[in-house]
Chain A
């Protein structure tokens, strides 16, 4: 390491409130997400061009389109989103409370647990023993390390949540009678929602799939497990989205030169997400045979209710953006748009992500609309929709956030600002072309999760739609390349960053007029849990006894997989390797820390 890096690192240590022992774990959590984004995005490119009969799966060393699709979904929808949330909301908790996290062991543990999860799942997927897609619906039966990886990934999010709560408790002791700072409040609310949401997948994996994959039980109930999956599978989209809302509400207004609208309303929005996100999952199962219709209809109402906080968000953000544009000298009905700081890549990427999200939200309401769902369910319309939401509202916003976050975390100046601005635009244009292709395809009966290029029933009307999907996908991939050029350039940059602070917006209407009840997350968590019992209780009671009649199926390997003991041995080696690396890393960290201390003294 060069002398300049040390200087930069020392500057951060002096200005930030988190100790280095917490900072590196947060930084590496983020990098783990970036690696997932790079690989997952690359596989996405293969999928897009498969639509126009360019099949590069052999060249990429993948056994099938579906092995690639599993990688794409797991890396992007699970690993990238989880690790970003873990890193970003740990940091905003620190910044919000103005103190380090309560436990350094937990923040480091969250990183190691996430890494172990990624390695275990990646091992199963890369050796083609888990081509089950990111929804892993049984009776598709993956190798046990895949489920073990899922366990570890979810565990890492719980460690982050536990650390937030411990930090909150410590802060309250230090600040008796004070209101919980909004930034920390929103960060904690997000993870509390997820704690409740993740119970479904935890029961599914630990109670059924893991013992099943280890041969301890022989059969499962696919309909029941599917319901457990979607118990988590819908609120998971808010777990993807809310870290970005934390940025949009609390950080972005400052970047755009405005103020957060209202402290109380922001708390209300996050509480609404905490309360309403989870009891909605059955709307993913409108077309399932094993669920009574009246139960599905209850989830129609709860799903529409959870649209409401996003409607408030739409208005609030518009007002923030417009008032910022006018404060910067913008005039006229739309003249203020021009005056926004479009040259700041962090701002422009998030602005574009918000615009795309308008379409993403609208298509989401179509999906949720009960009878209308029959037109679009499991068609290409759905990936069209969620590449606008998680793919862009979240994905592009994360890239935008990274344009200040990575300089903040490394002390290095952002490399290639203009390339970064171009990246946002190219990505947004790319996803709009891509989604147009997928959405139109879906309306014309094109199924999702299908190697359309190789399909034996292709319709001629899908031609244009396939081309749009492919062209949009290629544009997104080029934008992804731009992003990583900027990121790697920043990591290697020797120029120190100018500003080393997390931009946090002030509220126009601060917490003095906020109802005290809006501070009590514990209370709202109980309400959320009660709603879940009401929305799911009748189903679970009416559904019993379980129909445990499905043995496992491996439908992606023509010849049987290797011996189980070989896999267990290999997985064991991976875990040992991680442990050894962890040990070595801590030694190295200790040495570096020591040398820095000596350097300072």
Chain B
């Protein structure tokens, strides 16, 4: 099989390019500590409301600067506190928040804009992601997976002050 010199060089460069890309991704995991969501347990979506911790949605402080936010996603809202009419989570600046989320019905999305929080909420699975809010402000939590005709009304807020 004939491959010209220039094409050989290009193929080698292409291989190097991909290897460098993989190395950079490896560095983001090992050095910069960026991680993807990992399995955090299964749940029966039909009994989420009575299964701890999802029977009591809301934010709890679990250590110095450590918070846990338990959230139930359902069509078409995030329940972020025992009060179902509220869609706001309040945490202080510098808080490291671990979000535990699951769905009672269909697949939903969990994205917090201006952060790297981005995960799927799949019925039957518990999603766990964390983020440290170093800057004060209002962050939208957006459902980014189609979940029915009210999908574009499904959001909540993290208010960092």
Beta-carbon contact of A509 and B2 below 8 Å: yes
Chain B residue contacts of A506, Cβ below 8 A: none
Q: Would A293 and B124 be within 8 Å (CB), given that A308-B18, A369-B21, A551-B46 are in contact?
A: no
Q: Would A457 and B155 be within 8 Å (CB), given that A296-B36, A445-B111 are in contact?
A: yes
Q: Would A456 and B149 be within 8 Å (CB), given that A262-B2, A379-B144, A549-B46 are in contact?
A: no
Q: Would A445 and B142 be within 8 Å (CB), given that A450-B151, A550-B124 are in contact?
A: yes
Stretch with Cβ within 8 A of B (4 or more), from A219-227, A412-420, A570-578: A219-227
Q: How far is the CA of A169 from the CA of B25 in the complex (A)?
A: 46
What 1/0 flags go to A134-154 for Cβ under 8 Å of B? 000101100000000000000
- Min C-beta distance of A287 to chain B, whole Å: 5
Q: Does B5 have its Cβ within 8 Å of any Cβ on chain A?
A: no
Beta-carbon contact of B120 and A365 below 8 Å: no
Beta-carbon contact of A445 and B149 below 8 Å: no
Beta-carbon contact of A374 and B36 below 8 Å: yes
Stretch with Cβ within 8 A of B (4 or more), from A299-307, A326-334, A589-597: A299-307
Q: Does B125 have its Cβ within 8 Å of any Cβ on chain A?
A: yes
A131, A300, A377 interface centre (most CB from chain B within 10 Å): A377
Q: How far is the CA of A290 from the CA of B43 in the complex (A)?
A: 11
Beta-carbon contact of B46 and A370 below 8 Å: no
Chain B residue contacts of A300, Cβ below 8 A: 22, 25
Q: Would A288 and B149 be within 8 Å (CB), given that A262-B3, A316-B7, A445-B114 are in contact?
A: no
Stretch with Cβ within 8 A of B (4 or more), from A85-93, A170-178, A510-518: A510-518
Q: How far is the CA of A296 from the CA of B38 in the complex (A)?
A: 10
- Min C-beta distance of B26 to chain A, whole Å: 9
Beta-carbon contact of B155 and A456 below 8 Å: yes
Q: How large is the interface on B (under 10, 10 to 19, 20 to 34, 35 or more residues)?
A: 35 or more
What 1/0 flags go to A434-463 for Cβ under 8 Å of B? 000000000011011111101111010000
Chain A residue contacts of B45, Cβ below 8 A: 549-550
Give the contacts of B4-34 with A (CB-CB under 8 A).
4, 6-7, 10-11, 14-15, 17-18, 21-22, 25, 28-29, 32, 34
What 1/0 flags go to A361-399 for Cβ under 8 Å of B? 000010001111111011100000000000000000000
Chain A residue contacts of B142, Cβ below 8 A: 445, 447, 457
Give the contacts of A206-237 with B (CB-CB under 8 A).
221-223, 226
Q: Does B62 have its Cβ within 8 Å of any Cβ on chain A?
A: no
Beta-carbon contact of A555 and B125 below 8 Å: no
- Min C-beta distance of A373 to chain B, whole Å: 8
Q: Does A265 have its Cβ within 8 Å of any Cβ on chain B?
A: yes
- Min C-beta distance of A208 to chain B, whole Å: 13
Q: Would A293 and B106 be within 8 Å (CB), given that A288-B120, A549-B123 are in contact?
A: no
Beta-carbon contact of B146 and A304 below 8 Å: no
Q: Does B143 have its Cβ within 8 Å of any Cβ on chain A?
A: yes
Closest residue of chain A to B15, judged by CB? Answer: A308
- Min C-beta distance of A73 to chain B, whole Å: 10
Beta-carbon contact of B122 and A312 below 8 Å: no
Closest residue of chain A to B1, judged by CB? Answer: A264
Beta-carbon contact of A547 and B42 below 8 Å: yes
Chain B residue contacts of A454, Cβ below 8 A: 152
Among A304, A449, A553, point to the contact of B18 (Cβ < 8 A): A304
Beta-carbon contact of B111 and A370 below 8 Å: no
Q: Does B118 have its Cβ within 8 Å of any Cβ on chain A?
A: yes
Closest residue of chain A to B139, judged by CB? Answer: A445
Beta-carbon contact of B1 and A515 below 8 Å: yes
Q: Does B116 have its Cβ within 8 Å of any Cβ on chain A?
A: yes
Q: How far is the CA of A377 from the CA of B44 in the complex (A)?
A: 26
Give the contacts of A516-571 with B (CB-CB under 8 A).
518, 547, 549-551, 553, 555-556, 558
Q: How far is the CA of A412 from the CA of B96 in the complex (A)?
A: 68
Beta-carbon contact of B153 and A455 below 8 Å: yes
Beta-carbon contact of B75 and A223 below 8 Å: no
Give the contacts of B95-144 with A (CB-CB under 8 A).
105-107, 109, 111, 113-114, 116-128, 140, 142-144
Q: Would A264 and B2 be within 8 Å (CB), given that A379-B144, A445-B140 are in contact?
A: yes
Beta-carbon contact of A222 and B148 below 8 Å: no
Q: Does B90 have its Cβ within 8 Å of any Cβ on chain A?
A: no
Closest residue of chain B to A514, judged by CB? Answer: B1
Chain A residue contacts of B37, Cβ below 8 A: 287-289
Beta-carbon contact of A289 and B146 below 8 Å: no
- Min C-beta distance of A138 to chain B, whole Å: 8
Q: How far is the CA of A137 from the CA of B148 in the complex (A)?
A: 12
Q: How far is the CA of A307 from the CA of B149 in the complex (A)?
A: 37
- Min C-beta distance of A385 to chain B, whole Å: 15
- Min C-beta distance of A555 to chain B, whole Å: 3
Q: Does B61 have its Cβ within 8 Å of any Cβ on chain A?
A: no
Chain A residue contacts of B123, Cβ below 8 A: 139, 222, 549-550
Q: Does A17 have its Cβ within 8 Å of any Cβ on chain B?
A: no
Beta-carbon contact of B106 and A140 below 8 Å: yes
Beta-carbon contact of A289 and B120 below 8 Å: yes
Chain B residue contacts of A374, Cβ below 8 A: 34, 36, 116-118
Q: Does B39 have its Cβ within 8 Å of any Cβ on chain A?
A: yes
Q: How far is the CA of A549 from the CA of B43 in the complex (A)?
A: 9
Listed A/B pairs (16) with beta-carbon separation below 8 Å: A223-B125, A289-B122, A289-B126, A290-B42, A304-B21, A311-B10, A311-B11, A312-B11, A315-B11, A319-B4, A374-B117, A377-B118, A447-B143, A450-B144, A457-B142, A550-B123
Can you list the 7 inter-chain pairs with the closest CB atoms, starting with the nearest? A555-B148, A445-B113, A264-B1, A447-B144, A311-B14, A378-B144, A455-B152
Knowing that A293-B36, A373-B118 are A-B contacts, what are 9 other residue pairs whose CB atoms are under 8 Å apart, sorted by A's residue number?
A65-B152, A226-B107, A288-B119, A289-B128, A312-B11, A319-B7, A457-B140, A518-B1, A551-B46
